[in-house]
Amino acid sequence: DAGVIQSPRHEVTEMGQEVTLRCKPISGHDYLFWYRQTMMRGLELLIYFNNNVPIDDSGMPEDRFSAKMPNASFSTLKIQPSEPRDSAVYFCASSPIKARTEAFFGQGTRLTVV
């Protein structure tokens, strides 16, 4: 398996534009997580899905952020409109089962909003 695949690896956009980040989890994994990494706040959980259903989105910072998982092999994180403070590295991770199992991370998308 190729692991968790994220695209794009880098994104530079202007303030106010819509940004869509994409993730393909490892086949057969039931859980998908979106994290955001910044110097100030470290790694923050934004949202996670179980079997394509959003379970906990309490970490989503504002209504400008939305995430979907239309099928077991694809998820998106959308920011509309984007702001400079959204600049961060966004990671997608997946795991096979809930209990005591590691999460496998993608390489991340580095987002810069200017």
Partner 1 sequence: GDSVTQMEGPVTLSEEAFLTINCTYTATGYPSLFWYVQYPGEGLQLLLKATKADDKGSNKGFEATYRKETTSFHLEKGSVQVSDSAVYFCALQAGTALIFGKGTTLSVSS
Q: Least CB distance from residue 80 to partner 1, whole Å?
A: 24
Among 1, 62, 63, 102, binds partner 1 (CB under 8 A): 102
**β-pair type (5-7, 31-38):** unpaired
**β-pair type (88-95, 31-38):** antiparallel
Part of the chain binding partner 1 (CB under 8 A), chosen from 61-69, 70-78, 79-87, 102-110: 102-110
Q: What does the longest C-alpha to C-alpha distance in the chain come to?
A: 41
Name which of 10 and 18 has its Cβ closer to partner 1.
10
Q: Least CB distance from residue 6 to partner 1, whole Å?
A: 8
Name which of 62 and 102 has its Cβ closer to partner 1.
102
Closest of 88, 81, 67, 80 to residue 22, by C-alpha? 67
